[in-house]
Structure 1
Amino acid sequence: MTEALIALTAVLVLAVARIPLGFAMAIVGTIGFAALRGPIAAVETVGQLILDFSMSYTFAVLPMFVLMGAFVHRSALSKDLYEASYAWLGHFRGGLSMATVAASAGFGAACGSSVATAATMGRVALPSMRRFGYDPGLAAGTIAAGGTLGILIPPSMSLVVYGFLTQQDIGRLFIAGIVPALITVVLYFCVVAIVTRLKPQAGPPGPRTAWADRFRKLGKVYGVLLLFVLVMGGIYFGVFTPNEAGGVGAVGACLIAISRRHLNWQAFVDSLIEAARTTSMVFSVAFGAVILSNFVTVAGLPETIANGINALNLPGLAVIITICLVYILLGCVFDGLALLFLTVPVFAPMVVTLGYDLIWFGIVVIIVSEIALIT
């Protein structure tokens, strides 16, 4: 228990010192194993953990969805998504903010990364909101909140990681994320409507778009809907596995980019390089988190926490609320994926003991991670 707390403190110190998080967790975890089991056993344990993780069939889906997102980014769909959303929503008060949320949801459905979604939509939407005199706080908040939809709307890298850690079916997690994502979009719309009603100058309405132009702009983004239906429909009806869906999605995104004349040979190579870099970054964080989380488990932290909760005899809902607060606090420091690798092995057994479903808990974790990501 003491060793685990020292390790977590050391990781926080290294993170504040701007040491890459993956390396910080790997270093601390390896030193921790060496202190408990000796240097030779530590090297053998760390090597086996990395090998087992690298050979995981479940995690093989991740590079495919990353590649799909790279092709979608190259196809310049983000601008068309924003223009289509603006055509239908822009004439309302706060319409540009609503359009940003809607476009973020569409882009997130094909990208799977919150950071990429927020960065892309920021480049597309922020100039328009500035031009129409939107409140800077509302504009920035909309982009940040809309960007977080990328980790909830399937296919999502975070859901893949959670499924790997808890041995839950990736397809069921993807399906479970759809309705909460739609509810989140509607709630974001409601927040924008309330803010602009209380403060009309924060989000003035734009000009109304003709119906013909609305449908014309909507027709430009059929590729995103087609890709989403192809991937999620194939998984839901059992046509292919999540891993096969990742490959189909990557090929589909590539064909969409080609059909839109945005993918030449150089762009194709750049997409492959971008996907390789992103995957390498994710795996470096994953390796470090797997090493540290295993050390923390060996040191007895999960067992100690579980025993403490049992001793307090807290109701299940109180435990879930406490876990959510822990995620929000840790999210101020840790990357979203690193947070999952560190905490899910600790909290998942506890949640099962309380009688909660791990699919449901996974969606709760992702939603709370969205909030933490904004911090």
Structure 2
Amino acid sequence: MDPTTIALIGLICMFGLIALHVPIGVSMAVVGVSGFAAITGWGPAIKLMASEPAATMANLDLAVIPLFMLMGSLAATGGLARDIFETAEALVGHRPGGLAATTIVASAGFGAVCGSSVATTATFGRVALPEMISRGYAKGNSAGTVAAGGTLGIIVPPSSIMILYAVLTEESVLRLFSAAILPALLSVVLYLTAIWVVARINPAAMPGSEKLPFRTRIKAIGKSWGAITLAIIVLGGIYSGFFTVNEAAAVGVVFAFVFALGRGKLNRDTFLAVLSEASVATVMIYIIVFGAMIFSYFVSISGVSQEMMGAIRNLGLPPLGVIFVLVVMYLILGAFFDEVAAVVVTLPFVLPIILSLGYDPIWWGILNVALIGVGMLTPPIGINVMLLNAMRADIPLTAIYRGIMAFFLADCVRILILVLFPQVTLWLPSVM
């Protein structure tokens, strides 16, 4: 059978396994090994099952993921998310839409020590959502703000999905983190603008609260000293060159542990829960990476990527037209898959196309992450929306989707800027 045909059958089988709720990493590995065996024989395929996981485990860049997962779990347990929220609330909560703006700023701050969209959404679903509703905010707008803020967890560095992209594409983690800074700031600014517009149009949906005395607001800044210090240690250490990414993550784990311990937030049960949460997330990512590497080898030897590039050339679309087709595809994929799965499943097919069009893989990596974040808000699924609906069954899905519309439009503007002006992404890495 023709290798390209085998690859297409394999792709259909992989999506069939995923639809049957087989874990994505296992689905990719099964199809990758079977397809590889169909083309080269079972001997090389069995060796691939051993060599790829071994090579992945030896990759030092990937070793940083469990450290960031553990740091994020310790930071959440230590109450850093609530500290950031209360500080932002004291500074801007009195303005119309101020509590929503607080949630966005706090989500970005927590994303800098967490690195996960779902974890950020879940955290502020517990911290910020009840506060907004109790202050008279419309439930849909409140939930929509938390869902949108959650997407900042993967675009604000350090981000676990960026590390994964760097490992799979053999790009520099530091360059990806540097490239993400301006797009992350752009995301926050556009979200705050969306909140300002909604608050102006419908003040009753996002009312302001009582303005605190100046002294109280200044004192509130001090409450976030732990989160600020942790961000300075990790991000400052990385960008100054004082720490490698791995060293910064390790130091961040130690600081988050000592902070949570000093606050009395850690006991035997909570510490075991933190370890369990970080371990489960890490194992899930590693299994997906194992499967993705095996699947990538299968796709590579099948030649299907070259066939796809030839088909795209025959369409006669300009490079920008191809990018917009991929943008629509990722918006759809992000609605059905979590951020890790959406990237690793498509990367073997899409990256060769991006490189053949002459685009920078760093630029595509940041755009890819941004697109997956938007997809996590998009109907009919939208992972962040579904998570909030599960946490608060009293808020209908339709209300949440109405609440994210302003943020979705802001995201469309952001994606358009990133596509049309690649230097927004590439300028900082070029000068650092």
TM over 0.5: yes
Question: In the alignment, what sits opposite 1:286?
Answer: 289
Shift of 1:299: 2.0
Partner residue, 2:276: 273
Question: Is 1:15 the counterpart of 2:26 in the alignment?
Answer: no
- Give the CA deviation at 1:34: 2.8
Q: Aligned to 2:340, which of 329, 337, 342?
A: 337
SS at match of 1:332: helix
1:69 equivalent in alignment to 2:68: no
Counterpart residue number, 2:138: 135
Deviation of residue 266 (structure 1)? 4.3
Q: Tell me which of 166, 175, 178 is aligned to 1:175.
A: 178
Determine if the alignment matches structure 1 residue 320 to structure 2 residue 323: yes
Q: Is the 8 Å Cα contact of residues 166 and 345 (structure 1) preserved in structure 2?
A: no
Q: Indicate whether 1:148 and 2:151 are aligned.
A: yes
SS in 2 for 1:66: helix
> Which of 303, 306, 320 is the equivalent residue of 1:303?
306
Query: 2:168 touches 2:293 (CA, 8 Å); kept in 1?
Result: no
Equivalences for residues 41-120 of structure 1 within 5 A:
41-120=44-123
More displaced, 290-299 or 60-69? 290-299
Would the aligned equivalents of 1:165 and 1:345 in 2 still touch at CA under 8 Å? no
Ranges of 4+ aligned residues in structure 1 off by more than 6 Å: none
Distance 1:17 1:300 in 2: 28
How many Å apart are 1:265 and its aligned residue?
4.7
The AA in structure 1 aligned to 2:344 is F
Separation in 1, partners of 2:26, 2:168: 20
Give the letter for the 2:115 counterpart: G
- Residue identity in the other structure for 2:367: V
The alpha-carbon distance between structure 1 residues 63 and 337, as it changes in their structure 2 partners (threshold 3 A), is same
* DSSP 3-state at the match of 1:59: coil
Q: Give the alignment partner of residue 192 of structure 1, picking from 185, 190, 195.
A: 195
Q: Which residue matches 1:205?
A: 208
Counterpart contact for 2:78–2:260, Cα < 8 Å:
yes
Residue in structure 1 matched with residue 255 of structure 2 by the alignment = 252
Check conservation: 2:108, 2:188, Cα contact below 8 A. Answer: yes
Distance 1:296 1:262 in 2: 47
Q: Is the 8 A contact 2:309 2:353 kept in 1?
A: yes
**Equivalents in 1 of 2:330, 2:7: separation in Å?**
18
Cα contact 1:289–1:341 (8 A) shared by 2: yes
* Residue in 2 that maps onto 1:262: 265
Distance in 2 (CA, whole Å) between partners of 1:233 and 1:129 is 32
**For 1:159, which of 162, 168, 187 is the aligned residue?**
162
Distance 1:23 1:167 in 2: 23
1: CA distance between counterparts of 2:294 and 2:273?
32
- Aligned partners of 2:338 and 2:52: how far apart in 1? 21
Give the 3 Å change call, closer, same or farther, for CA 338–10 of structure 1 in structure 2: same
In the alignment, the residues of structure 2 paired with residue 40 and residue 184 of structure 1 have an alpha-carbon distance, to the nearest angstrom, of 49
TM-score calculated relative to the size of structure 1: 0.94
Question: 90-99 or 2-11, which moves further after superposition?
Answer: 2-11
How much is the aligned-residue C-alpha RMSD, in angstroms? 1.8
Question: Aligned equivalents of 2:49 and 2:331: distance in 1?
Answer: 29
Q: Which amino acid aligns with 1:369?
A: I
AA paired with 2:147? Answer: A
- The answer to whether 1:241 aligns with 2:244 is yes
CA shift for structure 1 position 147 = 0.4
Question: CA separation of 1:299/1:49 partners in 2, compared to 1, >3 Å: closer, same or farther?
Answer: same
Aligned pairs (5 A) from 1:35-46: 35-46=38-49
Question: How far apart, in 2, do the equivalents of 1:67 and 1:209 lie?
Answer: 35
Aligned equivalents of 2:169, 2:296: Cα separation in 1: 13
Structure 2 counterpart of 1:174, one-letter code: F
Report the 3-state secondary structure (helix = DSSP H, G, I; strand = E; otherwise coil) of the residue aligned with 1:331. helix
Consecutive unaligned residues of structure 1, counting only runs of 5 or more, are none
Which whole-Å CA distance do the structure 2 matches of 1:109 and 1:10 have between them?
37
Tell me which amino acid in the other structure corresponds to 2:240: F
Q: Matched residue of 2:96: which SS? A: coil
Question: Structure 1 residue 232 and structure 2 residue 246: aligned?
Answer: no
TM-superposed CA distance for 1:123, in Å, is: 0.7
CA distance in structure 2 between the aligned counterparts of 1:340 and 1:216, rounded to whole angstroms: 42
What CA deviation, in whole Å up to 9, does each residue of 1:7-61 have, x standing for no partner?
Answer: 2222222222222222222222222223223333322222222221121122111
| DSSP-derived class of the 2:336 partner | coil
Q: Which moved more, 1:151-160 or 1:329-338?
A: 329-338
Match of 1:366 in 2: 369
Contact (CA 8 Å) 1:63, 1:275: kept in 2 or not? Answer: yes
Aligned-partner Cα distance in 2 for 1:7–1:202: 49
Could you tell me which amino acid in structure 2 is paired with residue 258 of structure 1?
L
Cross-structure match for 1:354: 357
Post-superposition offset of 1:184: 0.5
Paired residues in the alignment total 375
Stretch deviating more after TM superposition (153-162 or 223-232):
223-232
Using the TM superposition, give the Cα deviation of residue 282 of structure 1 relative to its aligned residue in structure 2, in angstroms. Answer: 1.2
- Classify 1:135/1:3 alpha carbon distance in 2 versus 1 (closer, same or farther; 3 Å): farther
Amino acid at match of 1:280: V
Measure how far apart 1:143 and its partner are.
Answer: 0.9
Give the Cα separation in 2 of the matches to 1:306 and 1:69: 40
Where structure 2 has 5 or more consecutive residues not aligned to the other structure, the ranges are: 383-432
Partners of 2:156 and 2:289 lie apart in 1 by: 21
Q: TM-score, normalised by structure 2?
A: 0.82
CA distance in 1, matches of 2:139, 2:166: 37
Q: CA deviation at 1:353?
A: 2.8
| Mapped partners of 1:42, 1:355: distance in 2 | 33
